[in-house]
Amino acid sequence: MEAKALALFKRMAEVGKIFDKTKFNKETEKLYAFKPQPHRFFCFFVKGKRIYIVSAYQKQGDKAPPQEIKRAENLRIECMERIARKEERHEKKQG
């Protein structure tokens, strides 16, 4: 599993996009998923071309379980709040 996941992460870093939707796909409005079989890694993009991986699970069926999507979305929101607080602290130091 590690080799497949690392290969996908490396391809995204080097190329900037994964064209194969069976390997990387938009899951919701703001969440994407790396899909090395049999795992899923939910992630999201932020400015500066950064990707944050917020959760992972082992695939059980064809569709992502709603509770996994909800968990990933909650973690995305939490992460975005932390990023915003960090940027605010940085701006206060600069200003």
Span 27-51, pLDDT tens digits: 999 999 999 999 999 999 998 778 9
Dig out the tokens for 92 from the structure.
């206060």
Separation between Cα atoms, residue 32 and residue 16, nearest integer Å:
14
Evaluate if residue 88 carries a pLDDT over 80.
yes
Q: Which long-range contacts (CB under 8 A, 24 or more apart) does 21-24 make?
A: none
- Which domain does 80 fall in, by range? 2-94
- Check pLDDT > 70 for residue 95: no
Q: What is the value of pTM for the model shown? A: 0.86
The total number of structural domains in the chain stands at 1
7-29 pLDDT, tens digit each: 999 999 888 889 999 999 999 99
* Residue 92 or residue 10, greater confidence: 10
